Amino acid sequence: MKVVLRNPRREVEVAGNRRVKDVLRDLDIIPETVLVIRGDDLITADQHVKDDDTIELRPVMSGGSASRSAGEASQ
Amino acid sequence: MKCRKCGGTAVLELRRHNAAFCATDFQEFFRNQVREAIRKHRMFTADETVLVAVSGGKDSLALWDVLIDEGYRTTGLYLDLGIFDYSVESRAKCEAFATARGVPLMIKRVEEEVGAPVPVIKQVTRRPPCSGCGLSKRYLMNRAALEAGIPVVATGHNLDDEAATLFGSVMHWQMDALPRQSPALASTHPKLVRRVKPLYRLSERETAAFAFLRRIDYIVEECPFAKGATSIAHKEVLNRMEDASPGAKHNFLFGFLDKARPAFERAEGVELHECTRCGQVTTGTLCAFCKLADQVKRSL
């Protein structure tokens, strides 16, 4: 099956016919850090993916600048 | 996996809530969390206009989307940081969103305001790019709100952002930062507007899922300067902890807000003045933004 990864965008081939959580474990990706997208849908980690499926693992992390709640315009 | 509310097929599991939701019920859960944040911290009322700081990313556009649907009067504020293609693309996302939803969007260019875009500021200051960028953003958000007569700025900071900031502050025991970490900062000076974070109860995976399910076209690529940022390293550490112990991030942040934060509040307040040049609020005589602009001017 095909897995689309981001930042940078790339594709990898991995074995299918198993649960999403097994694919994530193989790729050493923490489930909390990605959305799992198949077609137009989000799917949960217990779902089975087939050998001819394509899924996107879209990272959810953003930012860089610490929010610094503290930061006033004055600082 | 089944939706906790309706029993339909779940699209997202929320381990920290020991729950999973279908698309419809997840969106309702999400909106309820935003409503609860606004209510609990009296962030703003239905009579007030809210200036929503948007970056083109999932968090700020999801926030704007919810506030519009909740019936709030909003104006978007996009700060063009001048970070190459990233800024061009993120600005286009914000403009497209504003047009589609029929809401006003203000645009300010950092290059015009500071004298140089963020990549140049980074070189001039020889400090991490997030430093000059964050300073400029906070200053310009406040000033834009004041100039437009808007009493409150809302940002898209989520639970992960807040937990990572708290983690950083604790790691260095930044005693001045800890009491000021809050989902809502009241105006403490006539020239400082209220600042609120209505998404602080939601993780970034939840805001990403909401943006995806609402078909919001947001910028997925991260800021080219974010790589190696300390806050990202802190988020990675916290995600490992979350994986081992669901709810860890939530407990860390909410435990601080509910129990520990009051202990860090100082009895005496910080004295605030107006910058001798621009008139914005500062603790000194010349504000940090004007000092930065000076530094940029000298080097060009």
Nearest to A69 among B160, B185, B221 (CB): B185
Per-residue pLDDT at A74 exceeds 50: no
Q: How far is CA A25 from CA A14, A19, A22, B7, B204, in A?
A: 12, 10, 5, 27, 21
Amino acid at A4: V
- Residue B113 and residue B136 in contact, taking contact as beta carbons nearer than 8 Å: yes
Q: pLDDT tens for residues A39-62?
A: 999 999 999 999 999 999 999 987
**pLDDT on residue B267:** 57
Task: State the angle between helix axes of B23-40 and B204-213 in degrees (0 to 180), rounded to the nearest 10.
Answer: 130
Q: Which residue has the tokens 């005589």?
A: B285
Closest approach of chain B CAs to the CA of A71, in angstroms? 7
> According to the model, what pLDDT value does residue A9 have?
87
What's residue B18's pLDDT?
A: 96
Residue A63 scores a pLDDT above 70? no
State residue B72's pLDDT score: 98
**CB < 8 Å to B139, chain A:** 73
Q: What are the chain A neighbours of B135 within 8 Å (beta carbons)?
A: 71, 75
Tell me how far apart the terminal alpha carbons of chain B are, to the nearest angstrom. 59
Q: Which residues pair with B281 in a beta bridge?
A: B274
Q: What is the pLDDT of residue A14?
A: 95
The minimal CB distance from A73 to the residues B12, B180, B280 is found for B280
B28's CB contacts (< 8 A; 6+ apart) are none
The pLDDT value given to residue A69? 34
Chain A nearest-CA distance from B102, in A, is 26
Position of tokens 């305001």? B113
Beta-carbon separation of B231 and A35 below 8 A: no
pLDDT digits (tens, 9 = 90+) for B159-181: 999 999 999 999 999 988 999 99
Q: How much is the pLDDT for A68?
A: 38
- Residues of chain B with pLDDT below 50 are none
Q: What is the DSSP letter of B80?
A: E
Going by C-alpha positions, the residue among B209, B202, B218, B246 that lies closest to residue B11 is B209
In this structure, are residues B53 and B157 in contact, taking their beta carbons and an 8 Å threshold?
no
Residue B230 contacts A, CB cutoff 8 Å:
yes
- For chain B, where are the alpha helices, taking DSSP H only? 23-40, 58-69, 84-101, 110-114, 118-125, 129-148, 159-171, 204-213, 230-244, 248-255, 261-264, 288-299
Residue B278 CA to residue B286 CA, distance in Å, equals 8
Using CB atoms, which residue from B11, B177, B204 is nearest to A44? B11
How high is the pLDDT of residue B268? Answer: 53
Q: Using CB atoms, pick whichever of A34, A59, A63 lies closest to residue B161.
A: A63
Residues of B with Cβ-Cβ distance to A19 under 8 angstroms: none
Tell me the sheet residues that pair with B20: B13
Choose among B129, B203, B288: nearest Cβ to A75: B288
Q: Count other Cβ atoms within 10 Å, centred on residue B27.
A: 17
Distance from A9 to chain B by nearest Cα, in Å?
Answer: 9
Chain B, 158 to 197: residues with Cβ < 8 Å from chain A are 160-162, 164-165, 168-169, 174, 176-177, 180-182, 185, 192, 195, 197
The predicted structure's pLDDT at residue B117: 94
Residues of chain A neighbouring B250 (CB-CB closer than 8 A): none
Q: Please state the pTM of the whole predicted model.
A: 0.93
The DSSP bridge pattern shows strands B281-282 and B273-274 to be: antiparallel
Is pLDDT above 70 for A65? no
